[in-house]
Amino acid sequence: MLHARFAGAITTASYEMVTRETLDTLLVPSNQEEYLPEIDDFALRSAVVEDLLRDEVLPDLRAGPVATPDGLKIHWTFGDFRATDRRPAHSAS
């Protein structure tokens, strides 16, 4: 149904994200506010989140199929679509 109203394509790509990049991404202030918001002190929250990620979360992820020698394989899906002027044909019932 959507193909009648939109034209475009979906592409995918896989990248390796090394452990430090993963931590840096998750510790961006706007991302970090999602984790442990009950810790008001920014520096303390950063330290706790980094410790939990480094010692608990990332080792579990690296024990699975997304592990690479230096980090994690990240799979991205991108879409580029534009609305068309086409209207779907309605069948008479």
- Give the pLDDT of residue 93: 53
Q: How far is CA 33 from CA 52, 67, 93, in A?
A: 15, 26, 54
State pLDDT tens for residues 31-80.
Answer: 777 888 899 898 999 899 999 999 999 999 999 999 999 999 999 999 99
pTM over 0.85: no
- Residue 74 burial by Cβ neighbours in a 10 Å radius (0-12, 13-18, 19+): middle
State pLDDT tens for residues 7-19.
Answer: 999 999 999 999 8
Q: Which residues pair with 83 in a beta bridge?
A: 6
